[in-house]
Structure 1
Amino acid sequence: MEPLTEHRLVSGPVVYGFLRLAYVTRARQEALAASLVEYCRSHELQLSGLFTDRDSVGPASAAFTGLLDVLALPDVYGVVAPAMSHLGPKAIAAERGRQIESAGARLLLVRRPRPAHSTASRCGLVHRPHSGTTRVVDAES
């Protein structure tokens, strides 16, 4: 009799991590890398490599160029980053996001961007994260 699928080693979709680490401590670097590993584990993704951008100012960097190179490999699902800011300042991050998508990959963020102004916040409601979810509670509670 064949073992159940749950008992076989099955690899998830292949992703690559990307970190922008200018002026951060070693402990912060390790925490950010660990957050990517945990995100991939909990979402059943196979983290196949981690690209680290340490000092790029413009849109081109060796780390990002390397990332784009591996996105051209077959069966690569996407890129995982802690937040959009890890792709660079807003204009550069937006361009890099477009380049990732045009390579046919998905951009997965551990922390999703916050909406600038939501209707709920103008109506007296406050969004508070709790255990990885977002709850809407009345501002008076």
Structure 2
Amino acid sequence: MEPLTEHRQVNGPVVYGFLRLLRVSRARQDALVAALAEYCRNHELQLSGIFIDRDASTGPASAAFTGLLDVLALPDVYGVIAPAPSHLGPKAIAAQRRRRIEASGSRLLLVRGPRTAHRPVPRSGPVRRHPGTTLAES
């Protein structure tokens, strides 16, 4: 019997990380890098490098983002991973960067998506659970 894919040494799709770190501690940076690495391990992605933007004054064409665009042009690169949309910059810059990533043919993956208001789950009666069923919020 063949081992499961999870038990074989296989290379997943290649992704590059992008972090926008303005005045953050080394511990925070390390935690964000670890979060990207863990996400990639859990989703069978190959994290090939991380670009860090530390300059808020450069606009959408920072050195880190330009470097990211350069590697996205390489063959077999699947996409970009970031902890949250805010790591692409303020809304106007983030929108431009998102368009540039998509125009390169790459995907933008977010560990944590945009924040949305929490919607209460309507309860019209008792909740019945069946063995093997997991309730999920839509």
**The TM-score by the shorter chain falls in which range?**
0.7 to 0.9
Specify the alignment match of 1:40 in structure 2: 40
Specify the alignment match of 1:92 in structure 2: 93
Specify the alignment match of 2:49 in structure 1: 49
Higher alpha-carbon deviation: 51-60 or 98-107: 51-60
Specify the alignment match of 1:60 in structure 2: 61
| Secondary structure in 1 matching 2:51 | strand
Q: Which runs of 4+ in 1 moved over 2 A?
A: 2-8, 133-136
Q: Could you tell me how far 1:134 is from its partner in structure 2?
A: 6.3
Specify the alignment match of 2:110 in structure 1: 109
Q: Point out where structure 1 has 5 or more consecutive residues left out of the alignment.
A: 127-132, 137-141
1:54-88 CA-to-partner distances (Å, cap 9, x unmatched) read 11321111000000000000000000000010010
TM-score (norm 1): 0.79
RMSD between superposed Cα atoms in Å: 2.2
| CA–CA distance in structure 1, aligned partners of residues 50 and 102 of structure 2 | 18
Q: Could you tell me how far 1:9 is from its partner in structure 2?
A: 1.6
Q: Could you tell me how far 1:4 is from its partner in structure 2?
A: 4.1
TM-score (norm 2): 0.81
* AA at the equivalent of 1:14: V
- With a CA cutoff of 8 Å and minimum separation of 6, indicate the structure with the bigger relative contact order: 2
What's the % identity of the aligned pairs?
70
* AA at the equivalent of 1:50: I
Specify the alignment match of 1:70 in structure 2: 71
Bigger share in strand: 1
Specify the alignment match of 1:139 in structure 2: none
* AA at the equivalent of 2:13: P
Specify the alignment match of 2:27 in structure 1: 27
Higher alpha-carbon deviation: 85-94 or 50-59: 50-59
Specify the alignment match of 2:9 in structure 1: 9
| CA–CA distance in structure 2, aligned partners of residues 135 and 70 of structure 1 | 37
| CA–CA distance in structure 2, aligned partners of residues 54 and 134 of structure 1 | 38
Q: Say whether residues 1:79 and 2:80 are aligned partners.
A: yes
| CA–CA distance in structure 1, aligned partners of residues 75 and 56 of structure 2 | 28
